Structure 1
Amino acid sequence: MSSMRSIKIGTRNSPLALWQAREVARNLQNRNYKTDITPIVSSGDKNLTEPLYAMGITGIFTKDLDIALLNKQVDIAVHSLKDIPTQLPKNIEIIAVLKRDYPQDVLVRSAGAKNKELHDLKIATSSLRRRAFWAKTYPDTQFFDIRGNVQTRLQKLEDQEFDATLFSLAAIERMGLPVEYEHLSMMISAPAQGVVAVCGRSDDEEIIELFKEVDHRDTRICIDIERNFLQTLEGGCTAPIGAFAEINEEDEVRFIGRLCSLDGKNCIETDEIFKWNEHENFGEAMAEKVLENGGRELMEEIKSQIS
């Protein structure tokens, strides 16, 4: 590709999304490419009153960028990978992922709840996964809906009647926010959490070729397993699903996956170590085990409760 051309990077305009776009730009500039960041307002950001799962969750944060990409207003779109549906629109693909930094969920308390026990906390989260995984350990918790970007949610934490909320650690660390947080051993991350993804048009060979240099191999292997696990389990329905894979130098992978009922009472888990190779769909295989182990009935139950 001629290094004279400037690569147009589409992004949402929240502070975190802009950080992600700048991180991709930095990767390109290090390879002597010019970049141009183009913020696009997403419908997911325009509607902050309705909980995510009432808005037809699939692709709510990616749709506007998908349209900009397909209309060639931008060359690439940068997303938080956990926001990208496993079913991508026609002619759009994930052409690179950056190295994963902070995959974990963390707890942030309001000033007034510093000394409360975990089981007494009133928790604000609109994530079905976070609610179910929390309720698995603390079944009597009172939950509240909360929406908005990190800064908005931190403000709501001080203004409203709940005690704490859950964030992706990546959001806090990337923004350099001076926030106290606690790690939670009972949480399993959302599939592909903590990963910045670059989407491009499937027919844009120049851009696809260029981003092969940017793509982080080990992260790519892990997120493919996590997303295949998710896709096989949910089949288009949103459910409390956690998945996290780690790989070492010998291509040995440890994978932890979990599917929970909405109230957290019924959970099916898998925790396995295997040698990776490119010919097997490990995520699918592990999801099939969960489905055969009671997951199929559990998914039916979740579908009937959400619809």
Structure 2
Amino acid sequence: MKNIRIGTRNSPLALWQAREVARKLQNKNYKTEIVPIVSSGDKNLSQPLYTLGITGVFTKDLDIALLNDEIDIAVHSLKDVPTELPKDITLISVLERDFPQDVLIRNSKSKNIELKDLKIATSSLRRRAFWSKEFPKTEFTDIRGNVQTRLRKLEEGVADATLFSLAGLKRMGLKLDFEYLPFMISAPSQGVIGICGHKDKIEINQLLSEISHSKTQKSIEIERNFLRTLEGGCTAPIGAFAEINENNDVRFIGRICSLDGENCIETDEIFQYNSEENFGEKLAKQVLENGGKELMSIIKMSI
């Protein structure tokens, strides 16, 4: 077989993730080639993400490359991947999830400021809403760019603190002081590297399935079905996290909030995993029936 062409965004974190996929394939004696592609989301750093359209900001250009046969597979941070994929593109494989949490990073002048008094830089509607649920008087500002760019902007004084996915910080090997935030619920699939491909490339897709992590696959299936049923896209204030133990017991926490964090609906369930049942859809329907439908309508009109 010729080299497996691995498409990726060209940020340092995305390239690290692509190299991790390449390493796993090379360990099985497959040859690989990494193909960096600049995404629309990376080209436009002036607008907040939620103004660029609700789905696929960081995946669209890799989707096009897949459909044009410029690459064989596309590696993504799975939380950026819409639940509805373009025709002929499929999610083939996921690597084991490592760090799903959101963490707080402060600039050097804000170490002693209380959480409720911090000015927060984030362009994530989920992070804004969930933070506002706890601290309703918080001032926010937008921040865009890769990890290094956001850290530089933070130190330059754009805000007192910002929020990161812990997975990104760990993968980049950054030695930073951070704070865990127990009140934040992760974005669906946060901390998971996902691999998409063209459905017609059956041989390559079968190879990729060899490196997929079963327990992570089950978890993200629940989280993404929850998100899909809520019709939230990748930028709405929706959190979802499923954790599966060795006995196939699932702990699922989900939340949807109004943009200002004042109105939130949550679910926290423990159940036995069964591949025949669509738990994510079931749990999302419970949320929709409990006021979530009206809340989603308001969110969509406001974005």
TM-score (norm 2): 0.98
C-alpha deviation, 1:62, in angstroms: 0.4
1:180-219 maps to which residues of 2 (within 5 A)? 180-219=177-216
Write out aligned runs for 1:109-128 (5 A): 109-128=106-125
Residue matched to 2:78:
81
CA distance in 2, matches of 1:236, 1:176: 30
Q: Which residue number in structure 2 is paired with residue 91 of structure 1? A: 88
Quote the residue 2:53 is aligned against: 56
SS of 2:133's partner is helix
Deviation of the 1:179 alpha carbon: 1.1
Map residues 1-307 of structure 1 onto 2, 5 A cutoff. Answer: 2=1, 5-234=2-231, 236=233, 238-306=235-303
Q: Deviations over 1:134-185 (max 9, x none)?
A: 0000010000000000000000001124100000001100000121100001
Deviations 1:7-52, CA, capped at 9 Å, x for gaps:
1100010000000000000100110111100101111101100111
CA distance in 1, matches of 2:235, 2:44: 19
- The one-letter amino acid paired with 2:297 is E
Query: Residues of 2 paired with 1:287 and 1:32: CA distance?
Result: 42
Give the conservation status (yes or no) of the 8 Å contact 1:229–1:283. Answer: yes
Sequence identity (%)? 70
Aligned with 2:109: secondary structure? helix
Q: Are 1:7 and 1:36, in contact at CA under 8 Å, matched by a contact in 2?
A: yes
- 2:111 and 2:119 mapped to 1: Cα distance? 12
**What is the CA–CA distance in structure 2 between the aligned matches of 1:21 and 1:137, rounded to whole Å?**
36
Is the contact between residue 122 and residue 141 of structure 2 (CA under 8 Å) also seen in structure 1? yes
Q: What SS does the aligned partner of 1:270 have?
A: strand
Question: 1:239-275: per-residue Cα shift (whole Å, max 9, x none)?
Answer: 2000000001111110000000100011100000011
Query: What is the Cα deviation at residue 236 of structure 1?
Result: 4.8
In the alignment, the residues of structure 1 paired with residue 235 and residue 11 of structure 2 have an alpha-carbon distance, to the nearest angstrom, of 24
Asked whether the 8 Å contact 1:61–1:83 carries over to 2, the reply is yes
In structure 2, list runs of 5 or more residues that go unmatched. none
Q: What secondary structure, in the 3-state scheme, does the structure 2 residue paired with 1:99 have?
A: coil
Number of equivalenced pairs = 303
What is the identity, as a one-letter code, of the residue corresponding to 2:91? I
C-alpha distance after superposition, 1:103-140 (max 9, x if no partner): 00000000000000000000000000000000000010
